[in-house]
Amino acid sequence: MLDVQGVFKRYATPQGPLAVLQGVDLHLGQGSSLALMGESGSGKSTLLHLIAGLDRVDAGSIRIGRQHLQQMSEAQLANWRRTEVGLVFQQFNLISSLRVEDNLGFQARLAGRFDPLWQARLVERLGLGDLLRRYPEQLSGGQQQRVALGRALASKPRLLLADEPTGSLDEASSDEVLKLLLELLADSPTSLLMVTHSQRVASRLQQIVVLQHGRLADPVEA
Ligand SMILES: Nc1ncnc2c1ncn2[C@@H]1O[C@H](COP(=O)(O)OP(=O)(O)O)[C@@H](O)[C@H]1O
Ligand SMILES: [Mg+2]
């Protein structure tokens, strides 16, 4: 479903070019889950941004099914992000001026994929029924992340990209959010790519890879 081949990415910095990704290969099957680990600064977020179509590779290819991201126009990339990718971040990134119910439907509406039945099911399974009229600032961190998950899944994306989604939660909230996420994905075709620093979190996913020196390695080799 997702094929990353020989991806290189460098940034221009005042100290000169910084080669972050130096030949990254990755395969993620439909409906499967993968934990991406690696030290801070190893390039995990960079790789997620490239896959999300938020930035472009310097070399190599990122393929989703038959589509090559590097061959897409900006408009096609924007459409890819809107319709096929769900994004979840450590800092939740909810829209502070919108109530929970409107945050939940926001991306799905943009994508023209708002499905009231599916949203109701997400609300039920994420336990958000009593929180729909609240604003993000009136929620705990774990509750905000459940809303962010619901928002990302409401448009039924092919790929969910999560960048340290439990990184700012305590252990109990983190476990709860992860459990809900894995339950929701268990009977869905959505694939999951999750960046995490937690070995405990990573071990719940089907596959673990470690980004090191610009490449991916199996955890045993890392
Ligand atoms: N836009 C950018 N411009 C210059 N350097 C960047 C940029 N984004 C990230 N970097 C650098 O690239 C490296 C990898 O960053 P990142 O992908 O955020 O790592 P991780 O998510 O694994 O912590 C870091 O050294 C970071 O400082
Ligand atoms: Mg990061």
Our answer on whether the CB atom of 44 is closer than 6 Å to any ligand 1 atom is yes
Our answer on whether the CB atom of 196 is closer than 6 Å to any ligand 1 atom is no
Distance CA 38, CA 192 (A): 17
What is the position in ligand 1's atom list of the atom closest to the CA of 49? 17
User: Mind listing the pLDDT tens digit for each residue in 20-58?
Assistant: 999 999 999 999 999 999 999 999 999 999 999 999 999
3-state DSSP call for residue 201? helix
CATH of the domain at 137: 3.40.50.300
How many domains does the chain divide into?
Answer: 1
- Quote helix, strand, coil % in the chain, to nearest 5: 40, 30, 35
**Distance in Å, CA 124 to ligand 2 centroid:** 31
Q: Average pLDDT for residues 70-93, to the nearest whole number? A: 92
DSSP 70: G
Residue 14: what are its φ and ψ, rounded to 5°? -55, -25
Distances in whole angstroms, Cα of residue 166 to Cα of each of 16, 34, 36, 72, 157: 34, 15, 13, 32, 20
User: Mind listing the pLDDT tens digit for each residue in 140-195?
Assistant: 999 999 999 999 999 999 999 999 999 999 999 999 999 999 999 997 899 999 99
* Residue of 9, 10, 15, 18 to mutate, ligand 1, most atoms within 8 A of C-beta: 18
3-state DSSP call for residue 10? strand
Domain that holds residue 94: 2-221
pTM: 0.94
- Asked whether the beta carbons of 166 and 174 are under 8 A apart, the reply is yes
Supply 62's token pair: 């990122």
Q: Average pLDDT for residues 62-78, to the nearest whole number? A: 92
Distance CA 107, CA 215 (A): 32
pLDDT at res. 65: 85
